[in-house]
Structure 1
Amino acid sequence: MTEQPQPFRDPRLPFARRIDDLLQRLTLDERIAMLHQFAPAVDRLGLDAFRTGQEALHGVAWMGPATVFPQAVGLGATWNDELVRQVGEAVGNEVRAKRAEDDRVGLNVWAPTVNLLRNPLWGRGEEGYSEDAALTSAIAVAYTRGLRGDHPHYWRTAPVLKHWLAHNNETDRDTASSSVRPRVLHEYDLKAFRDAVRAGAVAGVMPAYNLVNGRPNHVSPLLSQQLRSWADRSLVVCSDAGAPSNLVDSEHYFDTHEEATAASLRAGVDSFTDHGQDSAVMTGRIRGALERGLLDEHDIDTAARRLLELRFSLGEFDPGLDPYANTADFDTADHRALAQEAAEQAVVLLKNDGLLPLDPAAGKTVAVVGLLADACKLDWYSGTLIHRSTPLDGLRERFGAEHIVFAEGADLVRLKCADGWLQVPAAGTGQDPVRGAEGALDPALIAGRTDLPPLTCGDTPSELALVDWGNGVITLREPDGRYLSVAEDGYVRASADEPGGWIVQETFRLEAVEGHAGGHRLLHIGTGRYVSVAADGVKVAAPGEELSGSGEAASATGAEASKPANALGTVFETEVTERGENAVARAAAAADTVIVVAGNDPHINGRETEDRATLDLPAQQERLWRAAHAANPRTVLAVTSAYPYALTDAAAALPALLWTAHGGQAAGTALARVLAGDVSPAGRLPQTWYASDAELPGLLDYDIIGSRQTYLYYEGTPLYPFGHGLSYSDFTYSSLTAEREGELLRVSLTVTNTGAVAADEVAQLYVRAVAPSVVRPLRQLAAHRRLHLAPGAGERVDFTVPVAELGHWDVAHGRWTVDPGAYEIQAGASSTDIRSVAVVTMGGEPAGPRPVLARGLEGADYDEQLATEITDRTKADGDAVTAVAENNELLYRRCDFGAGVRGVAVSASGEGAVRITVDGATALVPVPATDGPYDYRTRAAGISASGVRDLRVTLEGTVRLARITFTGDSE
């Protein structure tokens, strides 16, 4: 007789039945253990260990060699959903293939990032897709569908979206609060997550480090109120690394870790990423919360059930039925071709006065210059390159090496010490464990190389390539390409292939020394200490360490004189042997055409943990393109960067500009093929390029409506608008029609290639309310389609747009609404290049004024505000508003007071007063000190108002306003 399997092992049963069976077999301690990122095996039941979290943003990351696709913002620039789906599928297959060889590779992938690129100074802008919610969600849906696979029960990988919610700043990222009014929340920040989750290929989300409206995202009520209402299956919420501890340690939101852990678990966090692989700390906190009655077993089981459903979906319990179990697709010819195609499709032609494309057959000389001309830069979430193509590589291959001249443009310098010159010893041999270490679970733990001799000070100077990346941040590289770096032992060595690591050890700052003409100290940014020359080599000394060598800063004056010499570091004299712009000018003068490759290093000045300070291109790179252009007017600027730049002068002076995100392993080949005309560029900007820093709101200003942010509300003239991108061909838009069919709009148009070359075009569809009742977007993307058309060919393009996309969040009534009236359906080649317009009219009754007698007023439901911010009403739920300056105001438009009111009551905490003004009548409601910010009391005052009137509120003192209600004359 065949023994029946345990029910949880029986594939004939639905997952829910099997999970029920398994849960009741697990002990409480075993269920608690499952809630840590590194869940241990349960040997007695044959359960394997399980790990949440595998980085896969644009390829398998942190696990050694993998196919490296363009950065996420580059995938967004393709505006090609199907291409991105294919990329997701390839990445998912490589995750599976690597998992088969290394069980440290996880199948729960933490990707993609769907935070909206609201502010271009955000350090992690490279990780997102777009500033627009519709484009972001469309690309996210495509990528997650590829990662997930199309089997009805089993998933290739299980994608988790990052980072919930309203997260666009690295500055104070674990303590800053994003003030997000309800309209921005529903129309913008939630939308990118909502549409991706509803598409059904998302396994969960990761909360962000920041707070929203005064409450940490890891205890957000929106996880249950919004997120989990969008899906018909359970969603796993994985905490960000260390965030559970932040609730107490940095945010001070809770007094004890037991309270914090209980609150986050009850809010919806299922998997705790904290204390690395040591699960004992978090499981101990969970047990402590249980003992204190802050949790019960049902809370544990709810989270464990979600995690088990994830594991069942990944085929862990049915290896024989898992269709992805034997996936071996890794670094295949198809993957390499896809990486190249993605890099080609991501290139955006910003300007072209006819200089491009270049003709490789003409035999002309091309100068390839610039600090990124021979670079293939990676970012924090890249895999290790198997294949590598720089712009120089690509252009040599496409145009012939004999037709290419090259000049990097770095300044060549020598550093003089008191006893000689800074010199780099020979490298010797040996594998560099710092770069390309396969199988490293956490790059932050990789230590610097210590098997090389440190720099010394001697008679023979070493010539170093100095690159200024902006804000005074420099790198120094010796002639064979190795960067100066500082290892854990403090010595400076030429040991790094590229800048990188969680804390970059290859960046320095030259600081002028007062009273010492030409003298500089060299500050190592990673340690915050100065470089000193000692008898046993050049090092950054720990405070208080005595250095036995000579060459210390004996010339210190003033306040510096009281510091230990080693703390001040050695004074170096910098001798420039060649300016980079001179080398660039020589190369440019010797060529027919110049390609200047500029941009950023994704590990420097803008990355995770570090926001950018400016939109400006670094000054050294400005000098290079200007020198090239002065020597040769046929100069093209190709910007390879993770972010927009304010290229105002370059855009005015140069005949051609291109931009691409860092394009992964095929970046150089892709750029060369676009320059040669093998591919007509059709990338489109996924975010607005502003003309200067002055056009930007504050980094922490999340009110895109109030401060007129992104293309949706920006009323100025951008340098290059959202959706912009030129082609080597021309296209016309015609025969636009738009009709309502139930709850859908059916939109059709014809796009025709009227040019001479086959090319892609991105047809963009926008909607605009003609006479809105409230501030609405100038236009808003509703759909897009990337097309390939032969010369003279046309294609009829059909779009389906839900009528709800015409709507907005109505704060007056607390609901989503589509106002009656006329709406323009706009088709064009960018958000400002509209080629055809149709009008549709929505019927129905207007929503009417605010029913304040029936609903009262929630403090956060204002129409406009000045100098206030939204904060948490309680630690569990709700919003309140507080002032950030004395000159503050809240405006609530069109409040309907009916036949009249005679009194007003406010629910508020803190201490101060609430001043309410309606049509000239004012009530001052005192708020005596309450017992803390969450102790709300109701205070009343008299006021007379009738009819429909605007209401204004001013907050005094530390008041937190939760709600306002009114008493009618009839009461």
Structure 2
Amino acid sequence: MIHSLKNYFLLGMLALPFLFLACEGPTAPVEEATEKAPDIEAAIDSLMSQLTLEEKVHMIHASSAFTSGGVERLGIPELIMSDGPHGVRHEHGRDWVKDEGVRDSSTYLPVGTALAATWNRDLGYAFGSVLGSEANYRGKDIILGPGLNIIRSPLNGRNFEYLTEDPYLNAEMTVGYIKGVQDQGVAACAKHFVANNLEYEREQVNVEMGDRALYEIYLPGFKAAVQEGGVYTVMAAYNKFRGDYCAHSEYLLDGILKTEFGFDGAVISDWNAVKNTMEAVNAGIDLEMGSDLPMLAMGPPDYGKFHMGDTVVTLVNNGTVDVALVDKKVRRLLRTMYRINAFGEREPGAYNTPEHQRIARQIADEAIVLLKNDGMLPLEQSATKTLAVVGANATRKHAGAGGSSQVKAFYEVTPLDGLQNLLGEGTAVSYAEGYTVSREGGSDADLIAAAVAQVKDADAAIYVGGWIHGFTDEWNDNAYDAEATDKESMELPFGQDELIEALLAANPNTVIVLMGGGPIDMRKWQGKAKSIVQAWYPGMEGGNALADILFGNLNPSGKLPMTFPVKLEDSPAHKLAVTGFESLEQNYTDGIFVGYRYFDSYEVAPAFAFGHGLSYTSFGYDNLTITKEDGTVTVSVDVTNTGDVKGAEVVQVYVKDDEANLERPAKELKAFQKIKLEPGASQSLTFELDEDAFSYYDDKQNKWVLEPGTFTILVGSSSRDIRQEGQFTW
């Protein structure tokens, strides 16, 4: 059993009919829920009538580092939470002390950007099911993910945790993730609501943006999480939004999330994100989490002294605060508990099963993106008697880094491991570090010379570099892709540019493999490299997946979920900014022109476009048809594998409004489908687009608007690789 049953008898005496409530999500039909289980709200009423004020207040703040307060007298358990957007985090003691000698290793899944790069909705669900199952096994009630913040700037240190720059792709991949988690009896937590798009001074920065950007870019993922995914909990962000902390914002939490989106679950603060008692009590935050880490050195904190702690009891008793405000928060927490069957016995989860490892591998298989290939890949195993592998990322393990997303991996196959596993004794594999992971180190002439000597005469050479996760104890030194820090630039650290140039001069056929959560500046060597591969942080099976792709046992099918700019200054968050990026006042003057919406509308050439990803085969697009009937536009297209090997293609459907009254992007993603085809095989695809696909948010009328006129449908392999297009009139 997940929770202690020492109070089970008491609970049974209170409300025996409620012990075995089914876990119904908020989108389940009322009739179906009524047939399957007693009314959850009646069960909540019963408990609410017996709770004292002190017990209610105890429930709305943390009771330890990762638990909320329970009520033992009534059998109400603590809610147990864990970080883990791509794997359940290692166990913490009640006050952040890392538990030792416990079975807390987990399946290390590829990171969020890698999941989005699969463009495979089914893998979104599979990803969530692994996470939920292992969280369940570990006794967790809430897993703190998915991260839904839009990738706005290449510099954000947490981009790797998130998914994409595009709101539609964000929403589509989010829904499966959430359902996968919650079908395992664990609550997902959509975070960070909203506009936490940078780690710089995240607890102080104020974000200003217009309503068009808010509704068209930054909210759709959260809206889908609530209305389509049925997410049980949402985490409020650290930052301020239009002058109010997100955790205190009545506009965001009560107005948009709870009223407009219809969210009836619990809103949790990010850790230490609540800054004011009255503002938090009056707004829609339901649970205050966190503790002041510096104070922990002086001993365990008094959680009753939190903003939503004992002070609230005093404020209710003296008439300053209406107890109804507290009751609303407690009801939402109890509703979440019933939905995950926290009062009963959940089906047990599973732990590092072969099936979980297989899913981690499949996601890695479909996530790796072939950015460039001038005939170099795939490599021939039979012709490769000597292989030179260079780069610290070839042997570096990333699971235990990154901040709150760190995972104690059951195992992690590095790129070098994967290559050795594949090639076996038939190929002599040599390795050279090439560079040292140290901000102070820079390039090292001796390490470069040793690496050059190895690649010069090898049958094949592979460089594995890119970004790294920062480790918790190295945040002040080597943090790049990590929580609580941002990158200083898009330039490769540790002198890697100089190393890559030297390797390509010595062996022009050196394959460049990049790891990390996002783009880098490749100007110094991109034109010289024949093959470039984006591997992300591909999880525990990533090394095996990478090896099979490089040697042609797998055909790459990943597509970029973000634009890779040529240089940082091309990114709209920087190009169109009116305030410095390290500023406490962040004005999103890029508006709706985020990512490819900017690059394609303003005709700025990217290094690699949104949706881009090459294959070892080719695909033809034919016979586009567009029909409109009532409020639905049906788009059909035939796709054929015109090459010699089996492959997968992501067919992307974009919409352009040709006659809008307000400025709109040159194109917007509105549908996609990943298909797998044998050589010579064809498939006819049909997409149905409703009115939402053609509407924009009019911030003058404060509503979504569909203007009559001409629209263009563009179908292709990326935002810059359009194969078919046609028009229709609405």
**2:114–2:537 Cα contact (<8 Å) kept:** yes
User: Partner residue of 1:71?
Assistant: 111
Aligned partner of 2:329 among 289, 295, 303: 303
Structure with more of its chain in strand, by fraction: 1
**Residue type at the aligned position of 2:128:** G
1:95 pairs with one of 135, 150, 171: 135
Question: Which one of the candidate residues 355, 371, 376 is aligned to 2:376?
Answer: 355
Q: Paired residue for 1:548? A: none
Matched ranges for 1:150-161 at <5 A: 156-161=185-190
Q: Deviations over 1:287-329 (max 9, x none)?
A: 243245442110111000000010011112232xxxxx23242
**Aligned AA (1:182):** D
**CA spacing shift, 1:171–1:43, aligned 2, 3 Å:** closer
Q: Secondary structure at the match of 1:141?
A: helix
Q: Which among 593, 598, 622 is matched to residue 465 of structure 2? A: 598
Q: C-alpha deviations, 1:168-209, integer Å up to 9, x for none?
A: 111121111111111111111111211221104311211111
- For residues 441-467 of structure 1, the C-alpha deviation after alignment (integer angstroms, 9 at most, x for no partner) is xxxxxxxxxxxxxxxxxxxxxxxxx43
Counterpart among 332, 356, 367 of residue 346 in structure 1: 367
CA 1:261–1:175: 2 relative to 1, 3 Å: same
Letter in 2 for 1:300: V
Cα deviation, 1:600-630, whole Å, max 9, x if unaligned, reads 2211224211111111112511122112111
Residue by residue over 1:203-233, the C-alpha shift from the partner in whole angstroms, topping out at 9 and shown as x without a partner, is 1211111111222111221211111135556
Task: Tell me the distance in 1 between the aligned counterparts of 2:282 and 2:685.
Answer: 47
1:620 matched to 2:495? The reply is yes
Q: How far does residue 57 in structure 1 lie from its aligned partner after superposition?
A: 0.3
Q: Is the 8 A contact 1:57 1:113 kept in 2?
A: yes
**Corresponding residue of 1:710:** 595
Task: Tell me the SS of whatever aligns to 1:658.
Answer: strand
1:663 aligns with 2:538: yes
SS of the counterpart of 2:165? coil
CA contact (8 A) 1:705 1:775 kept: no
CA–CA distance in 1 between the matches of 2:551 and 2:589?
A: 40
Q: Are the structure 2 counterparts of residues 168 and 779 from structure 1 closer, same or farther at C-alpha, using a change threshold of 3 Å?
A: same
Aligned to 2:42: 17
Closer, same or farther: CA 186–659 of 1 in aligned 2, 3 Å: same
SS at match of 2:115: helix
SS of equivalent to 2:421: helix
CA contact under 8 A between 2:468 and 2:515: conserved in structure 1? no
- Give 1:382's aligned amino acid: Q
Matched residue type, 1:30: E
Distance 1:829 1:4, change over 3 A: closer
1:375 to 365, 384, 396: 396
- Could you list the per-position Cα deviations for residues 125-159 of structure 1 after superposition, in whole angstroms to 9, with x for gaps in the alignment? 1111000001111111110010011xxxxx61111
| 1:391 alignment partner, one of 398, 415, 418 | 415
d(CA) in 2 for partners of 1:143, 1:44: 36
Distance in structure 2 (CA, Å) of the matches to 1:410 and 1:633? 17
Structure 1 gap segments, 5+ residues each? 100-105, 150-154, 248-259, 320-324, 412-465, 475-508, 511-575, 843-971
- Quickly say closer, same or farther: Cα 1:163–1:598, change in 2 above 3 A: same
Q: 1:653 to 1:238 in 2, by over 3 A?
A: same
Residue in structure 2 matching 1:333, options 341, 348, 354: 354
Aligned-residue offset at 1:47: 2.8
Q: Tell me if structure 2 keeps the 8 A contact 1:138–1:196.
A: no
1:719 to 607, 621, 625: 607
**Greater displacement, 744-753 / 660-669:** 744-753
TM-score, structure 2 normalization: 0.86
Give the secondary structure class of the aligned counterpart of 2:625.
strand
Please state if 1:642 is matched with 2:642: no
The Cα of 1:473 is off from its aligned counterpart by 4.5
Distance in 1 of aligned mates of 2:11 and 2:344? 15
| Contact map agreement 1:208 1:240 (CA 8 A) in 2 | yes
Q: Is the 8 A contact 1:827 1:837 kept in 2?
A: yes
Q: For residues 11 and 619 of structure 2, what CA distance do their matches in structure 1 show?
A: 66
For residues 664-688 of structure 1, give each alpha carbon's deviation from its aligned partner in whole angstroms, at most 9, with x where no partner exists.
Answer: 1111111001001111101011111
Alignment of 1:185-204 (within 5 A): 185-204=214-233
User: Aligned to 1:803, which of 691, 695, 703?
Assistant: 691
Secondary structure at the aligned position of 2:269 is classed as coil
Structure 1 residue 736: Cα displacement: 1.8
Q: 1:825 to 1:349 in 2, by over 3 A?
A: same
CA distance in 2, matches of 1:309, 1:668: 42
Of 226, 229, 248, the match for 2:259: 229
Structure 1 or 2, whichever has the larger Rg, is: 1
Extract unaligned runs of 5+ from structure 2.
1-8, 19-36, 92-103, 293-300, 471-478
Aligned to 2:163: 129
Q: 1:706 and 1:56 mapped to 2: Cα distance?
A: 31
Contact kept, 8 Å, 1:134 with 1:781, in 2: the verdict is yes
Q: Give the direction of change, closer, same or farther, for the CA distance of 1:404–1:289 in structure 2 (3 Å limit).
A: farther
Picking from 110, 113, 128, the partner of 2:147 is: 113
Verify the 8 A CA contact 2:620 2:639 in the aligned structure 1.
yes
**Alignment correspondent of 2:84:** 56
1:264 has 2:267 as partner: no
Among 166, 181, 194, the alignment partner of 1:165 is 194
Q: CA deviation at 1:707?
A: 8.7
Aligned in 2, Cα 1:15/1:584: closer, same or farther, shift over 3 Å? same
Q: Distance in 1 between matches of 2:491 and 2:504?
A: 19
The code of the aligned residue for 1:117 comes to I
- Separation in 1 of the partners of 2:320 and 2:611? 50
Displacement of 1:41 after TM fit?
3.9
The separation in 2 between residues aligned to 1:768 and 1:787, in whole angstroms, is 24
One-letter code aligned to 2:459 = D
Amino acid at match of 1:644: P
Name the structure, 1 or 2, with higher relative contact order (CA <8 Å, separation 6+).
2
Matched, 1:45 2:74: yes
Counterpart in the other structure of 1:754 = 642
Secondary structure of the 1:302 match is helix
* Structure 1: distance between partners of 2:156 and 2:414: 26
* Helix, strand or coil at the partner of 2:485: coil
2:453 counterpart residue number:
586
Distance 1:3 1:290 in 2: 28
Letter in 2 for 1:671: L
The residue number in structure 2 matching 1:820 is 708
Asked whether the 8 Å contact 1:262–1:294 carries over to 2, the reply is: no
Which whole-Å CA distance do the structure 1 matches of 2:646 and 2:606 have between them? 30
Q: With structure 1 as the length reference, what TM-score do the two structures score?
A: 0.65
Alpha-carbon spacing, 1:797–1:201, altered in 2? closer, same or farther (3 Å):
same
The answer for the alignment partner of 2:54 in structure 1 is: 29
- Output the CA distance in 1 between the equivalents of 2:430 and 2:501: 17
Measure the CA separation in 2 of the matches of 1:598 and 1:808: 41
Distance in 2 of aligned mates of 1:623 and 1:643: 20
Preserved contact between residue 464 and residue 515 of structure 2 (Cα < 8 Å)? yes
Q: 1:605 and 1:317 mapped to 2: Cα distance? A: 42
| SS of equivalent to 2:360 | helix
